[in-house]
Amino acid sequence: MTLLNPTWTALLYLAAAACFILALKGLNSPRTARRGNLIGAFGALLAVVTVFVSVKLDNIPWILGAIAVGSGVAAPVARRVQMTQMPQLVALFNGVGGGAAALVALLELSHTGDPWARLAIVFTLLVGAVSFAGSGVTFAKLQGLMTTRPVTFPGLPALMAVVLLAAVGAGVVVILNGSLLLALVLLLLGLAAGILLVLPVGGADVPIVISLLNAFTGLAVAASGLVLGNVLLLVAGTLVGASGTILTRAMAAAMGRSVAGIMFGAFKGGSTAGSTAVSERPVRSSSAEDVAVLLGYAQRVIIVPGYGLAVAQGQHTAAELALALEARGIEVDFAIHPVAGRMPGHMNVLLAEANVPYESLKEMSDINSEFKTTDVALVVGANDVVNPAAKTTSGSPIYGMPILEVADARQVVFLKRSMRPGFAGIENELLYEPQTTLLFGDAKDSLTKVLGAVKAL
């Protein structure tokens, strides 16, 4: 149908673009975030309706069917996914978006003879394919389909260089003569580059890569906007590309790493791969009852949840423990390290799911000064984010990462699965300090036992 003239079409697309800006703006604050997201969804709906009434389209039943299939698959998955598995779902959605952009660019190749448009097509093909394949690998890593440790092999940097050079070569030819065959080759090279890019990235850094690939997909969408002469795609893609870049840097900064260091660290051999050796040094381990006494007669307790809590699905028990302690008149807060959980901000989501009000979730910079006046810091399934080596050992892989200063608390209790070091594979000296008590076991089991013991006090 062509019910709308170009002016109205442009106005509606502009309105949709404004919705997207408001959506990102709204996501800046917990109070406006949900409304922001709904505004974004409305903008998307507006844009899709606009395209149906402004462009003469064939195959409309097919298109509607495809939309139904896409929604029918994605919406239930998005509704049902466990919040702990949410990072890989975001990676998956990001990847399919990149794949869609690459396919659109591929099909537009035969419609254009302009070298500039072909340049945009080449860019979209390559970046979209990198995003698709890279997201696939991050999904596999997070879903546990493959090892989360960095995967490298001797010829990797050379192979990457060859693939990129070949991609540039194929791209130049496509720009010059619009060869569909070479465009397909370019697509395959992009897929290979995406895989090679993400393989060497270690598990803890994967979320930053998701964010980076998210920005990549944004840029691919922006470029396809140039190809199709569609301003909405251009604006939306550029917005995501720009905001994704900033977000990637913010996340990396929260981990005390540089984006380049994460992407190429394993190439240089300075990756996050550490030892998984188990230390034999003596520690003070304790029973759930002893921990309950420590907690139950404290005045101020700070709970530091980490990845282990998320894996054990212990966030609800942690929330219950906080309530039980508060019922005894104890002041309880959760100290959230920016990268606690599987992805920056993930722990906030998990605890919010467990009905911990976000007022109780304190960010690192707000709470670090309060550990000095804290009786017990309860560290549940976290290790690297409280490791003083980040401040004291300049050779350590996590040196420079901001940490939660739990060592300042009068007592530190670690709920740990074993003495195995964390992601970064570094010993935590804090475990051997006199004020530290350890309770071994699965985070959820330990919390359940401590909770029972606190209630029995």
Partner 1 sequence: MDGMSLLTITVLAVFVGFEVVSKVSSTLHTPLMSGANAIHGIILVGAIIVAGQAADPWVLVVALLAVVLATANLVGGFVVTDRMLEMFHGRQRPPSSPGPGVPDGHGVVEPGKKERRQ
The answer to whether residue 236 forms part of the interface with partner 1 (CB under 8 A) is yes
Distance of alpha carbon 184 from the chain centroid:
30
Please state the closest distance from residue 448 (CB atom) to partner 1, in A. 22
Work out which of 2, 71, 275, 373 binds partner 1, going by CB under 8 A: 71
Task: Please count the residues of the chain.
Answer: 457
Work out which of 112, 148, 152, 243 binds partner 1, going by CB under 8 A: 243
Considering beta carbons, is residue 94 or 446 the nearer one to partner 1?
94
| Residues forming beta bridges with residue 212, ordered by sequence position | none
Work out which of 4, 15, 53, 96 binds partner 1, going by CB under 8 A: 96
Q: Could you tell me how many residues of this chain bind partner 1 (CB under 8 A)?
A: 118
**Per the structure block, which two tokens stand in for 276?**
């998984």
Considering beta carbons, is residue 26 or 171 the nearer one to partner 1?
26
Interface stretch with partner 1, choices 89-97, 198-206, 376-384, 437-445 (CB under 8 A): 89-97
Considering beta carbons, is residue 366 or 433 the nearer one to partner 1?
366
Please state the closest distance from residue 89 (CB atom) to partner 1, in A. 6
Which x/- pattern over 245-264 shows residues binding partner 1 (rule: CB under 8 A)?
xxx--xx--x----------
Considering beta carbons, is residue 217 or 411 the nearer one to partner 1?
217
The answer to whether residue 420 forms part of the interface with partner 1 (CB under 8 A) is no
Please state the closest distance from residue 352 (CB atom) to partner 1, in A. 4
Segment 305 to 334, residues that bind partner 1, using CB under 8 A: none
Work out which of 361, 376, 378, 413 binds partner 1, going by CB under 8 A: 361
Segment 11 to 40, residues that bind partner 1, using CB under 8 A: 16, 20-21, 23-25, 27-38, 40
Work out which of 12, 84, 99, 295 binds partner 1, going by CB under 8 A: 99
Q: Among all chains, which residue has been given the structure tokens 């709906």?
A: 45
**Per the structure block, which two tokens stand in for 366?**
């707000």
Work out which of 15, 100, 140, 188 binds partner 1, going by CB under 8 A: 100
Considering beta carbons, is residue 363 or 433 the nearer one to partner 1?
363
The answer to whether residue 404 forms part of the interface with partner 1 (CB under 8 A) is no
Sheet holding 411-416, edge to edge: 361-363, 331-336, 300-305, 376-380, 411-416, 436-440
128, 220 Cβ separation under 8 angstroms: yes
112, 234 Cβ separation under 8 angstroms: no
3-state SS record for 196-254? HHHCCCCHHHHHHHHHHHHHHHHHHHHHHHHHHCCHHHHHHHHHHHHHHHHHHHHHHHH
- Element housing 183 (H / E): helix 180-198
Which x/- pattern over 43-62 shows residues binding partner 1 (rule: CB under 8 A)?
-x--xx--xx--xxxxxx-x
Residues marked active site are found at 384
237, 123 Cβ separation under 8 angstroms: no
Would you call 258 helix, strand, or coil by DSSP? coil
Please state the closest distance from residue 84 (CB atom) to partner 1, in A. 12
411, 292 Cβ separation under 8 angstroms: no
Cα distance between residue 218 and residue 130, in whole Å = 12
* Ramachandran angles phi, psi of 438, nearest 5°: -120, 140
